Amino acid sequence: MKYETELLLEAEEEINKLDDYYQEIIEEAYKTVRDKGIEYLEINSLGNKIYEIKAGKTRSVYKYKKGQIIVIAVVFLKKSQETPKRILKLAQKRLKDI
């Protein structure tokens, strides 16, 4: 099932701060979501209806919106095995009205 992707302004800014290499990985992952669907990517549930797209060392934390839309709230590079609690709290704060 294909989805549209929306980025919150903060997530877009986080992507822009990454090296071009990581930006390309993220854009390829989002293209896959739009063209093929999420079943072609590695997705983790983080609880509270918040999910994570894994693409290389990059992570995009998102929530489903009405219809076939994914809203991406936080983008970061993986530095540890688990998603840091501060990232999860930040995503919850950014996505509270979605």
How far is 69 from 84, CA to CA, in rounded Å? 25
Which residues are paired to 74 by β-bridges?
Answer: 61
Instruction: For each of the domains in the chain, give its residue range(s) and CATH number, in order of start.
Output: 4-95 (3.30.2310.20)
CB within 8 A of 26, min separation 6: which ones? Answer: 15, 18, 55, 58, 60, 75
What backbone torsions phi and psi does residue 32 show, to the nearest 5 degrees?
-60, -45
Collapsing DSSP to helix, strand or coil, 45 comes out as strand
Q: Tens digit of pLDDT for each residue in 6-58? A: 999 999 999 999 999 999 999 999 999 999 999 999 999 999 999 999 999 99
Among the residue ranges 45-54, 58-67, 76-85, the one predicted with the least confidence is 76-85
